[in-house]
Amino acid sequence: MTSTSYDAAFAEMAARFRKDDWEARQETPPQSYLHVSKPNWKDQHMNGIHLETYVLGGQLKNGYAPVCLHCERGFPRQAAFMKSFTLKAKSRLEELGFTVKGPSGCSICELLVEIRGTPEATCAALEAQIRRLQELAPLIDETIAEVCA
């Protein structure tokens, strides 16, 4: 199986996230790479705050795909957000099984999800973990308001 066999499943997953003020972006042309965010997270150019997952060649080779929460340099107060949010969310993220990587860099947390037998099964597992991270949206919004005030 190649990463292109995941492209259609990722497009379907992206469509499922595009509701209730959530945005989902894929690279152009669409492939098995996904960002999920809210409008105020400044991820319009895929370089703000976002939930991310992907299945590319390296993931297929090692058998795991990441689910991450990132705050990249396109967010105007990246360092302040990383420091504040990591401090506020660390215990909750660890309870959810995520490895906390922040506050340095752009990766707040990551969880490796085992590649399943089909793209659809793998995407279902990835989607479940992204939905768990979506529960942190109010805390993300609160931290954005705090660091951008």
Taking only the tens place, the pLDDT of each residue in 114-131 is: 999 999 999 999 999 999
- The DSSP element (H or E) to which 33 belongs, if any, is strand 33-37
Residue 21: partners with Cβ closer than 8 Å, 6 or more residues away: 38, 39
Average pLDDT, the chain: 95
Residue type, 86: T
Mean pLDDT of 80-108: 97
Integer CA distances (angstroms), 72 to 4, 85, 143, in order = 26, 13, 15
pLDDT over 70, % of the chain: 100
Mean pLDDT of 53-80: 96
pLDDT at 140: 98
pLDDT at 27: 87
CA atoms lying within 13 Å on the CB side of residue 99: 8
This prediction has a pTM of 0.95
